[in-house]
Amino acid sequence: MSVHAHPSNTDTAVDATVSPRPRLILTVLGLCGIVVALMQTLVVPIIPQLPSLLNASPADTSWAITATLLAAAVITPISGRLGDMFGKKRMILVSLGLVVLGSVICALSSSLIVLVIGRALQGASVGAIPLGIAILRDVLPPKKVGGAMAVMSATLGVGGAVGLPIAALIAQSADWHFLFVVSAALGCLCMLLVFFVIPESSVRKPGRFDFVGALGLAAALIALLLPITKGGTWGWTDPKTLGLLASSVVIFVAWGFWELRRSAPLVNLRIAARKQVLFTNLASIAIGFSMYGNSLSLPQLLMAPKDTGYGFGLSMVTTGLVLAPAGLVMMALSPVSARISDWKGPRITLLTGSLVIGLGYVAALFATSAVWQVALAGMVIGAGVGLTFSAMPALIMSSVPITESAAANGLNSLMRSIGTSSSAAVVSVVLAGATIMVHDRVYPTLDMFKATFVISIVAAAVAMIFAWLIPKRKAPHRESTTSRPQE
């Protein structure tokens, strides 16, 4: 393995065989991040039409979203471990290949089952983002890594925010299958760029792949996330919901015992138990929860008819355009967040970002009487998300061996996914708690929207508590974490 550590930064190892082109590498990986993040919101504009398009019930067509979320949660930590073993560039190409394959299947689909299979393959591509962050750590000069990781982290929010109006515009002006033709073309473009531009890092952690650990983690996550995402439909006291949740606890305990006994586990739980890693991951769950409240509540608020007394009656395209600046703010703040991390450490960046998210929801709680106020609240929330998303990988990277970087980032992404899935379930239940009828359609009351904002404020406060519990470091980028576990 040809790796050397920069003398002033032993947390960041640079591939000795590579002459990095930082801007070009970051541009390509950032584009890949935006494309795979786009898969999360790609079908949102056509969800209301899917029952008639596919001759299925609304409960069944919701699997077009659920399958993507589940696949992303299950595959992300697995692809991270495979990247550490067999090459991160190789696994990014595999992830992008799944985007193309899933998009082609969806583009040719005429039934719900085929569409769900394609959407699951698209969701499995999200692992490209933590893999990209790990590549940046491996191949860029140490002084470039912090800012590059911040930009790469922001792509997750940018893809979702910018993708919504684009997808809505395509859905309104062309056959719905064309959405997937566009995503397949973007996936092919990204594959070509990665193949020719991105260097393969020689940082590897060879060993046997933990198939039992992968199956156990997949089973545990499905048993946890499936009732969380479908509990509103099944009923929260339904035996199926409670049974799966209980099963997830049992499987997670058994999986943990298995992983602790492995010399090359899928997830190194001993490293994950380090205070900096543990509290960062717990904060990630809270951040994911608070972030997704914005994604669910503000669009519904903007699209609700004026007859509700609070809505603005905007179309899906206009709503997407109103909220798109939030994603752009995330990207614009990336270099700022990197400077804060260099100045005060990523722990302070995470604390600051969590506070800003909370302030954004406070603004939404008290000022949503005009479209510009909703847009401003979304931008403030987006600013906070951008700060936190850049801080979390920096905290993880400074605490794990370089041979564990992709797997550790994948686990951190999984924590955010658990937060977003939980948020989707809770916010949906709250919004359905009190409704009004307008033009033969049911809408949440304004008080229910405000309740979701309060819940998100609490989640942001919880993230701040976990961020505060992260151990302070005088020089977070100088502590050596390059020790290799024995194989």
Confidence of residue 97 (pLDDT cuts 50, 70, 90): very high
What does the longest C-alpha to C-alpha distance in the chain come to? 68
Torsion sign, CA atoms 31, 37, 39, 43: negative
Confidence of residue 473 (pLDDT cuts 50, 70, 90): low
Question: Tens digits of per-residue pLDDT, 60-81?
Answer: 888 888 888 888 888 888 888 8
19 pLDDT above the threshold of 50: no
192 pLDDT above the threshold of 70: yes
Rounded-to-integer distance, Cα 352 and Cα 379, Å: 15
Helices (H), 87-200: 88-107, 112-123, 128-139, 142-173, 178-197
Question: Tens digits of per-residue pLDDT, 306-345?
Answer: 998 899 999 888 988 898 888 888 888 877 887 888 888 8
Give the pLDDT of residue 40.
79
Rounded-to-integer distance, Cα 369 and Cα 49, Å: 29
Confidence of residue 482 (pLDDT cuts 50, 70, 90): very low
Give the pLDDT of residue 14.
43
Could you give phi then psi for residue 382, rounded to 5 degrees? -60, -40
Structure tokens at 9: 């930064």
Q: What is the DSSP letter of 6?
A: E
Contact 294, 380 (CB under 8 A): no
Question: Tens digits of per-residue pLDDT, 121-130?
Answer: 999 998 888 8
Structure tokens at 183: 């995503």
Question: Which residues, at least 6 apart from 253, have a Cβ–Cβ distance to it below 8 Å?
Answer: none
How many residues belong to the chain? Answer: 487
Using alpha carbons, select from 84, 88, 485 the residue that is nearest to residue 260: 485
Confidence of residue 462 (pLDDT cuts 50, 70, 90): very high
Look over the chain and give the mean of its residue pLDDT values, rounded to a whole number: 85
Question: Tens digits of per-residue pLDDT, 390-426?
Answer: 888 889 888 888 778 777 888 888 888 888 888 878 8
Confidence of residue 429 (pLDDT cuts 50, 70, 90): confident
266 pLDDT above the threshold of 80: yes
Rounded-to-integer distance, Cα 201 and Cα 2, Å: 9
Give the pLDDT of residue 404.
80
Angle between helices 405-431 and 275-303 (to 10 degrees): 40
Rounded-to-integer distance, Cα 91 and Cα 82, Å: 7
How far out from the chain centre does Cα 329 lie?
A: 17
Structure tokens at 248: 């997830």
Give the pLDDT of residue 487.
35
Helix (H) or strand (E) holding 14: strand 9-15
The CB-side HSE value for 259 (13 A sphere, CA atoms) comes to: 20
Rounded-to-integer distance, Cα 451 and Cα 85, Å: 45
Question: Residue 209: how many CB atoms within 10 A of its CB?
Answer: 14
H helix and E strand count, the chain: 19, 4
**Residue in this structure with the two tokens 């982290």, named with its chain if needed:** 153
Rounded-to-integer distance, Cα 398 and Cα 190, Å: 29
Rounded-to-integer distance, Cα 148 and Cα 390, Å: 9
Q: What is the 3-state secondary structure (H, E, C) of 401-443?
A: CHHHHHHHHHHHHHHHHHHHHHHHHHHHHHHCCCEEEECCEEE
Per DSSP, the residues of 240-309 read HHHHHHHHHHHHHHHHHHHHHT-SS-SS-HHHHTSHHHHHHHHHHHHHHHHHHHHHHHHHHHHHS-GGGS
pTM: 0.82
Rounded-to-integer distance, Cα 143 and Cα 8, Å: 10
Overall CATH class of domain 3-210+262-469: mainly alpha
Overall average pLDDT of the 433-443 stretch:
83
Residue spans of the domains in the chain: they are: 3-210+262-469, 211-261
Contact 116, 64 (CB under 8 A): yes
Specify the higher pLDDT residue, 253 or 149: 253
Question: Tens digits of per-residue pLDDT, 353-388?
Answer: 999 999 999 999 998 889 999 999 999 999 998 899
Confidence of residue 474 (pLDDT cuts 50, 70, 90): low
